[in-house]
Amino acid sequence: MNIFSKAPYRLTASGISDLMDKYTALVDWKISHIITGEYFCPTIHKLEMEAVTEVESILDNIKSGNEECMEKLMYALLLSGLAMQMIGNSRLAFGAEHHISHLWEMTVINEHIDALHGEKVSVGLIMYLDKYEKILQTIESDKCKVIDNAEFETALLKDTFGRKGLYEGILAENGESL
């Protein structure tokens, strides 16, 4: 770990920035699961949240180059990559802030840009925080209710096919899978 604690702080800060943005990515993943039924693994979610929360709690010690804290940062960064491999996609690690960062990276692929990945991700996060805040306020004000995907689909089927007398047939044919 000594090599990591001696690295230029800009590199360390970029890694921290990339990791801290996991909060929004993990929330996006959970919301997507609720709304669309996307695969969600509570165990992996918990592992990621614990790693990110632990790093957040030791930020001052990381900045001072504490080797044990640097090891925890590296563990959290590696865990993120392993977690993506375990679920087979990058959903738990990439939210809107990563998408904007990747867009910038693709746009300037043939030009030099003096910004590290974590720096670009943090700028993307700053751009989207206002949007996340507005979404949260809308949900909390009951103007927009987040409901379970199954409830939504059942209600949609009933609204769409109930008047035509087809809803009962759909239920009979699909049984418990609805």
Summarize pLDDT for 108-133 with one digit per residue, the tens.
666 767 889 899 999 999 988 888 88
Whether the pLDDT of residue 1 is over 60: the answer is no
CATH architecture classification, 2-146: Up-down Bundle (1.20)
Amino acid at 175: G
Query: In this predicted structure, what is the pLDDT of residue 149?
Result: 60
% the chain with pLDDT above 70 = 90
Amino acid at 132: Y
Amino acid at 124: G
3-state percent helix, strand, coil for the chain, nearest multiple of 5: 75, 0, 25
Q: Where in the sequence of the chain do the CATH 1.20.1090.10 domains occur? A: 2-146
Whether the pLDDT of residue 176 is over 70: the answer is no
Whether the pLDDT of residue 178 is over 60: the answer is no
DSSP state for residue 93 in the 8-state scheme: T
pLDDT in tens, 61-77: 998 889 999 999 999 99
Whether the pLDDT of residue 172 is over 70: the answer is yes
Whether the pLDDT of residue 46 is over 80: the answer is yes
Query: In this predicted structure, what is the pLDDT of residue 58?
Result: 95
Is this model's pTM higher than 0.95 or not?
no
The rounded Cα 39 to chain-centroid distance in angstroms is 13
Whether the pLDDT of residue 29 is over 80: the answer is yes
Contact between 77 and 19 (Cβ < 8 Å): yes
